[in-house]
Structure 1
Amino acid sequence: MTSIQTPGLLTFTIAILVFFAGAGINRAIPALRTFNIPEAVTGGLLAALVTLIAHRFFNIEISFALEARDMLLLYFFTGIGLNARLDDLVSGGRPLLVLLILTVVYLVLQNLIAAGSVALLDLPEGLTVFLGSASLIGGHGTTIAWAPLIAERFHVANAMEVGIAVATLGLVVASLVGGPIARHLITRYDLKGPKVEVAVVGLPQRGEDSARDDVSHVSLLRTVLVLNAAILIGYIVDELLGDVALKLPLFVVCLLVAIVLTNTVPRLLPRLIWPTRTRALALVSDLSLNIFLAMSLMSMQLWTLGGLGTSLVVVLAVQTVAAVAYIIFVVFPAMGKNYEAAVLSSGFTGISLGATPTAIANMTAVTKAHGAAPRAFIILPLVSAFFIDIINAAVIGYLAR
């Protein structure tokens, strides 16, 4: 087996090419646009298939240096925080609580499905965690963190491999079903986005506003400067939280720092030009998200899925059906059965099956086509990347007893 490791700059360049490849495919296949499949998902899955072919038929294992990906994640979520005005946060209080409750209920349901499937299919008991919320809601990070303990406690030698494979497949499924779910809900209930476009992530695909371009090198540099300042403060706050034994994901810390800054600095310094809801910030956020997602998907080692037996594939299929049904019949009505609820429904696939960036990518694709939903971009990351991680850890700890 020949191993090829691409350095950081080459990885970043390939990710850009992967995005353009996905954009070209989406233009050539109208159905992909119709169902709001993000360009980075299309291109990233194509690149992952290429690496699979190289591994399977040419004995070449391609891996990518992903340091830039982590920085792009910080840029993206800091940008989300800079767009969070106080009135949005206040109005988002009840929807935030409702979405959190819905997510907790689904977390329990997902683990019950996993436990029942393990019992019916006579699979090792230790796999319950990795067929449920550890891998699907928790993603790769949670899987890697808990795999050694599960492997030792339940004597499951391949716990890490199964968990990573399930998390990877869940990420793929979440990337593909979010857009169609939103399309179904928007069409069935004749939902409309706001008439006045608000720049949050990316720019609208059509309309008069999309033809106007007031972005300059000055506005972009000003935006990047504010983002960098917020991220640097985020690093400091993260260190301080670590000193008091409170550990949060760094991108959540940066998100919270940005929320505080955007609701204080403009009031204290009203003459200061601030990037909230500007086209420059929307473009930087869009670029960061798309390249992050392209890197994440193109770096998937799909050959690791070959270890999944038929039983595990069946369980994942059941989990997918359950997630889609829960979103359509529970999440959408509970969140108000309106346009924003449809956008949140597309993002809930990332909570239930994939990861927070996948959820945001799905919502971004929908809002580009149908109109902005600013509050959705605030409450969903807080639920999926903050509150639910704490609750999920407690549930996994209970299951791993």
Structure 2
Amino acid sequence: MTGDALSFNEFASFNLAILVYFLGVRLNKKIAFLRHYNIPEPVSGGLLVALVALIVYLGLGKEIGFSLNSRDYLLYCFFTAIGLNARFSDLVKGGKPLLILLFLTVGYMLVQNVVGTGVAVALGFPTGFGLLGGTISLVGGHGTAIAWGPKLVNNYGVVGAVEIGAATATLGLIAASLLGGPVGNYLIERRGAKPDPDRPEEAPMIGIESNREADTSVTHTGLMRSLLVLNIAIGLGVGLQEALVAGVGLDLPVFVCCLFCGIVLSNTVPVIFRKMTWPARSRSLAVLSDLALGIFLTMSLMSLQLWTLAGLAGPMLLILFLQIVVAGLFIILAVFPLMGRDYNAAVLGAGFAGFALGATPTAIANMTAVTKRYGPATQAFLILPLVSAFFVDLANAAIILLFLGG
């Protein structure tokens, strides 16, 4: 701790995140509004702590900070688990919805940048300023905003691009967390996308042909097996990311490489070693995945420094307001009808709001909150992470360069 800051170390931050998660659970049980609009528990608890930190900063002049080193590992675990649960046969079956969602996402990214740059240019700001209110900070998130910031300052005359980008990404993450649940609720309750009570039960995300672990229970051996496979895939993902940077200069996010390695392992190892017990789609792996997502998102939201939003200029706030409106309309008028107007489409709508303005973990949390109330939506959980976590990062760089003129 210093005179102007109150900092929590890694151990304290991690355990505080668990407490804040349970605070969110408690808030959702007590406050009907949060339940009705499917606000995820990490969002409820995390934003409350962020507001408390803001009050402390404004009242006492002290910044509350958390150590977030373990957060990256939790992110890797979550996306690796998604990869381990993916089967090529499922992707083939869901090929058409996957392609439709991919084209919708690319189309939306173009729309998002048109809105951002259009408003910026109309108000006399450079194109790069508008992109900070577009896919650089919103679809791209904090990492992309920080990565592009120096280039926008040096090459495109956007003063304070790093700070503006980080603040915009913060506000986008909040908007994404709060928009997904109400959008999903609207599509289900008002647009007739309630799950059919007579439909066949969707296959749970557990169990593959070679898996001999009991899917109905969580065991210590199952947890250890799942954790070991997760760590092996993460190690391969980190190595792949480093090799791509050194070999061809392709700097993909580490979690994308971990997701890819998880997919490859789950579609090769059980085929080659048919007698091996593989943890894909087991309840033990699901527990680890849920734990990683819950604590990751809680840590992300409770550590938001809301006082940094004061640096956002009025024009950027206008752009952000329009982006929220456009995202909601795009989901209702394009994503929902083109994805089938059914329950899976409604859940995808909640998830789309999550990564369109925030990040893929926010999208998954939004969908999880909706499905906890209404029932499973296996297809939504299968195809959205592949689009939002894998294809989006590849497409975003090309789209940003397109708007910047190469």
Partner SS, residue 256 of structure 2? helix
Task: Answer yes or no: is 1:269 the counterpart of 2:273.
Answer: yes
Residues 259, 129 of structure 1: alpha-carbon distance in 2 compared, 3 angstrom cutoff = same
Match of 2:181 among 179, 182, 206: 179
Partners of 2:142 and 2:403 in 1: how far apart?
A: 18
- Is 2:193–2:346's contact at 8 Å kept on the other side of the alignment? no
Equivalent position of 1:170 in the other structure: 172
1:125 Cα offset (Å): 4.4
Equivalent position of 1:305 in the other structure: 309
Equivalent position of 2:96 in the other structure: 94
Alignment-mate amino acid for residue 276 of structure 1: A
Alignment-mate amino acid for residue 235 of structure 2: L
Partners of 2:343 and 2:313 in 1: how far apart?
A: 39
Partners of 2:9 and 2:203 in 1: how far apart?
A: 37
Equivalent position of 1:155 in the other structure: 157
User: Bigger CA drift: 180-189 or 287-296?
Assistant: 180-189
- Is 2:350–2:367's contact at 8 Å kept on the other side of the alignment? yes
Alignment-mate amino acid for residue 113 of structure 1: V
Partners of 1:187 and 1:153 in 2: how far apart?
A: 48
Equivalent position of 1:106 in the other structure: 108
Match of 1:77 among 76, 79, 90: 79
1:124 Cα offset (Å): 4.7
Task: Answer yes or no: is 1:229 the counterpart of 2:232.
Answer: yes
Equivalent position of 1:218 in the other structure: 221
1:355-390 Cα deviation digits (max 9, x unpaired): 111111111212222222233223222222222222
Match of 1:317 among 313, 317, 321: 321
Alignment-mate amino acid for residue 10 of structure 1: A
Equivalent position of 1:13 in the other structure: 15
Partner SS, residue 359 of structure 1? helix
1:42 Cα offset (Å): 0.6
Compute the TM-score of the two structures, normalised by the length of structure 1.
0.92
- Is 1:137–1:353's contact at 8 Å kept on the other side of the alignment? yes
- Is 2:104–2:335's contact at 8 Å kept on the other side of the alignment? yes
- Is 2:128–2:152's contact at 8 Å kept on the other side of the alignment? yes
Within 5 A, what are the aligned runs for 1:2-401? Answer: 2-188=4-190, 189-192=192-195, 196=201, 198-200=203-205, 214-245=217-248, 246-401=250-405
Partners of 2:8 and 2:205 in 1: how far apart?
A: 33
- Is 1:197–1:371's contact at 8 Å kept on the other side of the alignment? no
- Is 1:199–1:278's contact at 8 Å kept on the other side of the alignment? no
User: Bigger CA drift: 8-17 or 27-36?
Assistant: 27-36
Partner SS, residue 378 of structure 2? coil
Partner SS, residue 375 of structure 1? helix
- Is 2:43–2:297's contact at 8 Å kept on the other side of the alignment? yes
Residues 190, 335 of structure 1: alpha-carbon distance in 2 compared, 3 angstrom cutoff = closer
- Is 2:127–2:404's contact at 8 Å kept on the other side of the alignment? no
Partner SS, residue 58 of structure 2? helix
User: Bigger CA drift: 125-134 or 39-48?
Assistant: 125-134
Structure 2 gaps, min length 5:
207-214
User: Bigger CA drift: 268-277 or 38-47?
Assistant: 268-277
Aligned residues: 391
Partners of 1:300 and 1:187 in 2: how far apart?
A: 32
Partner SS, residue 39 of structure 2? coil
1:97-134 Cα deviation digits (max 9, x unpaired): 11111111111111111122123334454311111111
RMSD of aligned Cα (Å) = 1.9
Partners of 1:234 and 1:167 in 2: how far apart?
A: 26
Residues 195, 63 of structure 1: alpha-carbon distance in 2 compared, 3 angstrom cutoff = farther
Identity %: 51
1:127-149 Cα deviation digits (max 9, x unpaired): 11111111111111111011111
Partners of 2:247 and 2:194 in 1: how far apart?
A: 47
Partner SS, residue 337 of structure 1? coil
1:280 Cα offset (Å): 1.2
Partners of 2:159 and 2:242 in 1: how far apart?
A: 35
Equivalent position of 1:207 in the other structure: none
Partners of 1:108 and 1:7 in 2: how far apart?
A: 41
1:27-54 Cα deviation digits (max 9, x unpaired): 0012212211110011110111111111
Residues 343, 22 of structure 1: alpha-carbon distance in 2 compared, 3 angstrom cutoff = same
Partner SS, residue 5 of structure 1? strand
Partners of 1:108 and 1:262 in 2: how far apart?
A: 34
Alignment-mate amino acid for residue 396 of structure 1: I
Residues 278, 59 of structure 1: alpha-carbon distance in 2 compared, 3 angstrom cutoff = same
1:154 Cα offset (Å): 3.3
Alignment-mate amino acid for residue 350 of structure 1: G
Partners of 1:156 and 1:309 in 2: how far apart?
A: 13
Partner SS, residue 244 of structure 1? helix
Residues 241, 309 of structure 1: alpha-carbon distance in 2 compared, 3 angstrom cutoff = closer
1:200 Cα offset (Å): 4.1
